[in-house]
Amino acid sequence: MRIFDPHIHMTSRTTDDYRAMYTAGVRAVVEPSFWLGQPRTSPASFLDYFDSLLGWEPFRAAQHGIAHHCTIALNPKEANDPRCTPVLDELPRYLVKDRVVAVGEIGYDSMTPAEDTALAAQLQLAADHGLPALVHTPHRDKLAGLRRTLDVVRESALSPEHVLVDHLNETTVKEAKAAGCWLGFSVYPETKMDEERMVAILRDYGPDQVLVNSAADWGRSDPLKTRKVGDLMLAEGFTEDDVDRVLWRNPVAFYGLSGRLDLEVDATDATHEGNSILRGGE
Amino acid sequence: MTPRPHPGPGTSGTPLADLHTHLTAHLDEPARTWLARALDEAAARSGAHGPISAWELRLAEAGRRCGAEHADAVRVLILHAAQAGPDALTRVYHQGTAAERRAVLHALPHLVTGPEALPLVEDALRTNDTRLVAAAVGPYAARHLDAHNWRHAVLKCLFTGVPVDTVADLHQRARADTELARMLDDYAAERTAAGRPVPEDLHRALALTDSKACKASDASEAKES
């Protein structure tokens, strides 16, 4: 089983997780930029974080045979903090980088005017840079948040086929699907979705446009949830092709909209001799 | 998925004309066209993409335009076409991905004659990214890195598994370096005490420090900068 986790915060995870993920079949991840648990107090903190998502973290992933990409954005929660919002001006120079495969996570947390502004501005940035967008749906007041999110998407320059609406559940999947967006589900040990409910949704709505992620971070979460969903799908009668579509081909298709997916893993064992021309014919 | 070897660490030691010839022979038509335009833009320093100049945008997107295996060489050529000096190289390095930083390190010996860009080499040597460490120990470091930092760079290569052959001018700089020999001996002793194997590269580097191994005619060139 080959697995692409389309939403996982590896910065918050250990190398043991990378090893276990590889063993479980994970060969590619996308790490969306997000809140760190502790509020940031300046744009500089974001820049170091973005640099890490484009430097150290892909190196760490490659050491374990996993191709790492990221999405870059000002997250919804910190869009409310005027100390952080100037980072919006820094985003364009990040959105041109190789391996940045979407603008995200953007969306709503508390549905404030500041969040409206940041969401609309960043959907426009996605359109300007030929990138899709990863849009988080709020934990509180979720259905209202989804509707408002879809309204802003409709008013944006980005088509719904370039938007992945994430953290969906039984109450929000229908309208997100009707809007024509890609459908993201986060499977957690206690909150969000679990494996059984995920398989039930797949049975009801089919595997088209559906992406399953672990959204693993520094909270109670499990980076192997993608594999557990795949196993349960097989046990419940889905075919291997269905599993491959949900856990590999759908994320490849969505993030492939960026034209920047590179699923080969660079060797990082530093033992490669290099080809002769690059080594000056030595 | 087959692991892809990272670009050869010797980009910094290859004449730029040879890099260009190699790329022309190996890039497909769209990438070749893109590169020609990127080099023209860089030479003219024309255009802008929002807040960044056109040539810096080309530098950022080189991997997806030409393939990761060619990106180092492409970026070195763009930096050269833009005649990037220490200030521009420093900005591009600090605003770059790991891949862009690696390309800046490879470009240093081609573009900077003095020691002004040493802070970039020192920054890369502080990382644990072996691709950056390998790029940092090229001809520019051989020329300018002081003895203490150079010895630590050699030791770091042994620690992180970067082949010591990656270290430019290792033969010349290691020769008769008794302090490097002591550091290597101590490291070998530490490995042995822990019951771990001593890397073969350590023995090779240690042999190079033996002053008797050098030719008398070269001894006067031994560097202790």
Q: What is the dihedral of CA B145, B207, B198, B168, to 10 degrees?
A: 30
User: In Å, how far is B207's CA from the nearest CA of chain A?
Assistant: 21
Per-chain mean pLDDT for chain A: 93
H or E segment at A145?
Answer: helix A142-155
- Provide the pLDDT confidence category of residue B213 given band limits of 50, 70 and 90: low
CB contact under 8 A, A270 and B130: yes
pLDDT for B218 beyond 70: no
Low-confidence stretches of chain A (pLDDT < 70) are: 267-282
- Dist CA A102 CA B15 (whole Å): 37
Structure-token pair, residue A93: 């120079």
Query: Which of B18, B99, B161 lies closest to A270 in CB terms?
Result: B161
Query: Which of B64, B73, B97 lies closest to A54 in CB terms?
Result: B97
**Mean pLDDT, range B202-224, rounded to an integer:** 66
Residue B136, amino acid: A
Higher per-residue pLDDT: B214 or B69: B69
> Exposure pattern of A124-138 as b/e (b: 16+ CB <10 Å)?
ebbbebebbbbbbbb
* Residue A97 three-state SS: coil
**Per-position DSSP letters for B109-137, written without gaps between them:** HHH--SGGGHHHHHHHHHS--HHHHHHHT
- Dist CA B81 CA B66 (whole Å): 17
* Residue A83 CA: distances (Å) to CA of A57, A110, B22, B176: 26, 18, 48, 55
Residue B194, amino acid: A
CATH of A3-256, one of 2.60.40.1170, 3.40.30.10, 3.40.50.300, 3.20.20.140: 3.20.20.140
Query: Which of B5, B49, B101 lies closest to A272 in CB terms?
Result: B5
DSSP B164: G
CB contact under 8 A, A263 and B97: no
Give the chain B residue nearest A49 (alpha carbons). B97
**A252 in contact with B, Cβ within 8 Å:** no
CB contact under 8 A, B62 and A273: no
Give the chain B residue nearest A89 (alpha carbons). B51
* Four-residue CA torsion sign, A245, A246, A247, A252: positive
Q: β-strands A26-32, A67-72: how paired?
A: parallel
| Domain definitions of chain A by residue range | 3-256
Query: Which of A97, A267, A280 lies closest to B10 in CB terms?
Result: A280
Give the chain A residue nearest B102 (alpha carbons). A55
Residue A41, amino acid: T
pLDDT value for B212: 66
Chains A and B form CB pairs within 8 A to the count of 126
**A54 in contact with B, Cβ within 8 Å:** yes
**A129 in contact with B, Cβ within 8 Å:** no
Per-chain mean pLDDT for chain B: 89
**A97 in contact with B, Cβ within 8 Å:** yes
Higher per-residue pLDDT: B215 or B94: B94
Structure-token pair, residue A80: 């409310």
- Dist CA A62 CA A24 (whole Å): 16
CB contact under 8 A, A268 and B130: yes
Residue from A229, A267, A259 nearest A245 by CA: A229
- The predicted-structure confidence for B6-40, as pLDDT tens digits, reads as follows 444 357 778 899 999 999 999 999 999 999 999 99
Helices assigned H by DSSP within chain B:
16-26, 29-44, 54-66, 68-81, 86-94, 98-111, 118-126, 130-136, 139-144, 147-160, 170-174, 178-193, 200-208, 216-219
pLDDT value for A218: 94
Radius of gyration of chain B (CA): 19
Helices and strands in chain B: count of H runs, count of E runs = 14, 2
Hey, which residues 103-142 in chain B have their CB within 8 Å of chain A?
127-131, 133-134
Q: B71 contacts in A (CB within 8 Å)?
A: 98
- Dist CA B42 CA B56 (whole Å): 8
**B25 in contact with A, Cβ within 8 Å:** no
- Provide the pLDDT confidence category of residue B219 given band limits of 50, 70 and 90: very low
CB contact under 8 A, A56 and B95: no
pLDDT for B221 beyond 60: no
| Domain definitions of chain B by residue range | 8-112
CA angle in degrees (0–180, nearest 5) for A102-A105-A106: 105
pLDDT value for A268: 56
* Four-residue CA torsion sign, B100, B102, B106, B112: positive
- Dist CA B225 CA B212 (whole Å): 21
**Mean pLDDT, range B130-136, rounded to an integer:** 96
CB contact under 8 A, A27 and B19: no
CB contact under 8 A, A282 and B10: yes
Give the chain A residue nearest B10 (alpha carbons). A279
**Mean pLDDT, range B180-190, rounded to an integer:** 97
What is this model's ipTM?
0.89
Axis crossing angle, helix B178-193 with helix B147-160, rounded to the nearest 10? 30
CB contact under 8 A, A273 and B8: yes
Neighbours of B145 (CB within 10 A): 22
pLDDT for B129 beyond 80: yes
pLDDT value for B11: 72
* Residue B150 CA: distances (Å) to CA of B102, B191, B215, B225: 18, 21, 22, 10
- Dist CA A195 CA B108 (whole Å): 52
DSSP A50: H
- Dist CA A199 CA A229 (whole Å): 7
Hey, which residues 74-93 in chain A have their CB within 8 Å of chain B?
89, 92-93
pLDDT value for B225: 40
CB contact under 8 A, B19 and A277: yes
pLDDT for B49 beyond 80: no
User: In Å, how far is B106's CA from the nearest CA of chain A?
Assistant: 11
Query: Which of B10, B97, B130 lies closest to A98 in CB terms?
Result: B97
DSSP A188: -
Hey, which residues 27-56 in chain B have their CB within 8 Å of chain A?
49-52
Query: Which of A98, A259, A264 lies closest to B99 in CB terms?
Result: A98
CB contact under 8 A, A96 and B129: no
Q: Terminus-to-terminus CA distance in chain B, angstroms?
A: 46
Q: Is the peptide bond before A240 cis (omega within 30 degrees of 0)?
A: no
- Dist CA B116 CA B27 (whole Å): 34
H or E segment at A183?
Answer: strand A182-186
CB contact under 8 A, A265 and B3: yes
